Copies of this chain bind each other. A is one copy, B any other.
Amino acid sequence: MALRYAVLGLLSKAEMSGYDLTQRFTQEVSHFWNAHHTQIYRELQKLEDEGLLHHQVVEQSDRPDKKIYSLTDAGLEALLTWLSESPKPPKMKNESLLRVSLFHLIPPERAIAFLEESKRAHQEIISLMNLWKQEHFPDDHPVPQEIGEYLTIEYGTRFVQTWIDWCEFAIGVFSKLR
């Protein structure tokens, strides 16, 4: 039920195509939401059927034509209504932690290797996030219209850094066991 509001939310900032939305979901927005492109196209169809969106076809010469979607008044209203509701408690699904919870089943060396690899991967992610931050907020100071992006990317980096720090902690715990 929340994907629709992620879509409406992105479209409230700028009208765009399903392809553009897919890019956003795999890039800027990926640290708090994700969706497969097939799901996005179906959701756009549904939202248009409900009158929350409409689209216009843009013909392109060098690329395939595209459909640019934008919010209707009803769409903006639905988004604002949802924003005023209280959020449900989040439902965690962390496959890495699920594996960690079973680390008593494998030798410490394997556990350490897993953690080292995870740490390395997240260090790469945080580098990319920091680059994005510097590009978009070079003065570390958002304009009011971009405050949401500023705060969510800030949370994103803190979240990843917490994981990296915890990996080091966990590696330390296993190292003492060996």
Residues of A within 8 A of B (CB): 2, 5-6, 9, 12, 29-34, 79-80, 83-84, 86-88, 90-106, 110, 117-118, 142, 144-152, 154-155, 158-159, 162-163, 165-166, 169-170, 173-174, 177
Interface contact A101-B173, CB-CB below 8 Å: no
Contacts A104-B144, A148-B102 given; does A95 touch B2 at CB 8 Å? yes
Interchain CA distance A94-B147 in the complex, whole Å: 17
CB distance from A142 to the nearest CB of B (A): 8
CB-CB under 8 A from A174, the residues of chain B are 147
Interchain CA distance A95-B158 in the complex, whole Å: 17
CB distance from A72 to the nearest CB of B (A): 16
Interface contact A96-B90, CB-CB below 8 Å: yes
A-B CB proximity, top 6 nearest: A32-B97, A101-B148, A32-B94, A162-B162, A34-B91, A103-B148
CB-CB under 8 A from A87, the residues of chain B are 95-96, 99, 118
Interchain CA distance A146-B100 in the complex, whole Å: 11
Number of copies: 2
Interface contact A100-B148, CB-CB below 8 Å: yes
Interface contact A2-B104, CB-CB below 8 Å: no
CB-CB under 8 A from A101, the residues of chain B are 9, 29, 32, 148-149, 151-152
Contacts A152-B100, A170-B151, A173-B147 given; does A12 touch B105 at CB 8 Å? yes
CB distance from A4 to the nearest CB of B (A): 11
Contacts A2-B95, A93-B34 given; does A147 touch B177 at CB 8 Å? yes
